[in-house]
Amino acid sequence: MREKLNEGGVPIPKYKLCRNYDELIEAAKDIGTPCVAKPVGGNASYGTFMIQNNEDVDELEEKYNASIEYLKMKAVDEDMFSFSKEEMDIIGVLNHVDMVTDYIVEEYMEGPEISVDALVQNGKVTIMGIEDQIRMEPPYFLQLAARLPYVCTDEEMAVIQDLIERTVNAMDIKNSATHTEIIFTPEGPKIVEIGCRIGGDDLHDTILHVTGYNLMFESVMIALGMERDYIVETKYHTMMKFLMPHKKGVIEEVFIPEDVKSDPDIFSIDLLMDKGEDVDTPPKSFNYIGYVGAKGATPKDAENKINEAFKKIRVKIND
């Protein structure tokens, strides 16, 4: 992806592929601090951390080793991002990588971040939803919450549309759902990543409530070659918030009261972990306990609704 976008003149961060810890140290020195180290595989910012200064470089090994151990566990226990060489050949990865231990070091892009879900048919791009992402403070980058739709001017929307079209063209995507992340840096917007897929976590349900379009259905129609035409309008504003572990321990209880479950404005409650499971905070673990999505007539309505719900939800973690 980085190579293709670079060839296509799409704005991306400076980057370097690292095969081991020594190469990661050298890349951090070449790119300069602050910079970001992220695994080639993984998702949801698993194993991603910031290298803030030279002191961080001196103390980097512990973070790197802890992240690698977490990624190895995910790859084995959950069969995630562990592609064989044969599988990489099939999907066109000419430069084989280890999707657990290989890292990319790239320049730190400071600024607000959005994700853009779009549908591409015969090369035509239709943006279905733009999510305003809220992430934790560095050195880690887990998402804490999100708002959709992203509220912006017509001029900003035109810039986003142009950048998505250029990115899709550079990747030669013709017929697919796409999920793209963009950071608005002081030098201008830059592409974090693009994937030929629907956005994860709440995004399918959120976009359905906001626009009325089912992205899974639309993806199937596009795959079948059925001509599609979209009129994308905002029916609701939404906010999603993650349930995060606040300390190391074992989940004893996740209590969600009935009035939250039955609230028609709470459209999504998804628990990703169960009672009895171990939790921790980065860099030892990058797991979410779950997430909740709420809708309202305005962004403030949605935010108030999710905040009221979180006052009633209780997560108990034993040491």
Give me the residue label for tokens 């030669």: 172
CA distance 132 to 100: 29
Number of domains in the chain: 3
User: Structure tokens of 261?
Assistant: 């479950």
Domain CATH code at residue 75: 3.30.1490.20
Mean per-residue pLDDT for 154-164?
97
> Model pTM?
0.85
Among 203, 233, 263, identify where a domain stops: 233
Helices 203-211 + 215-223 axis angle, to 10: 90
* Residue 77 banded pLDDT, cuts 50, 70, 90: low
- The domain boundary residue, chosen from 206, 233, 260: 233
Q: What distance in Å separates the CA atoms of residue 32 and residue 130, rounded to the nearest whole number? A: 31
Domain co-membership, 22 together with 114:
no
User: pLDDT class for 193, splitting at 50, 70, 90?
Assistant: very high
For the residues 13-26, what does the mean pLDDT come to?
91
Q: Is the pLDDT of residue 275 over 80?
A: yes
**Does 115 share its domain with 226?**
yes
Bigger pLDDT: 81 or 251? Answer: 251
Lowest mean pLDDT among 32-41, 178-187, 200-209: 32-41
Residue percentage of the chain with pLDDT more than 70:
95
Please tell me the predicted confidence (pLDDT) of residue 239.
97
Q: Which residue has the tokens 């169960």?
A: 274
Which is more confident, 110 or 55?
110
Q: Does residue 148 carry a pLDDT above 90?
A: yes
Count how many residues are written for the chain: 319
Beta strand 103-107 with 35-39 is: antiparallel
Kindly state the average pLDDT of the residues 93-102: 76
Determine whether 68 is exposed, middle or buried from the number of CB atoms within 10 Å of its CB (0-12, 13-18, 19+): middle
Same domain, 31 and 93: yes
Write the CA distances from 6 to 9, 170, 179, 261, 295, integer angstroms: 5, 9, 18, 46, 38
Asked whether 294 and 269 are in contact (CB, 8 A), the reply is no
Lowest mean pLDDT, pick from 64-73, 116-125, 277-286: 64-73
Kindly state the average pLDDT of the residues 301-311: 97
Residue that is last in its domain, among 78, 107, 136 = 107
Domain that holds residue 137: 109-233
Residue 82 pLDDT:
63
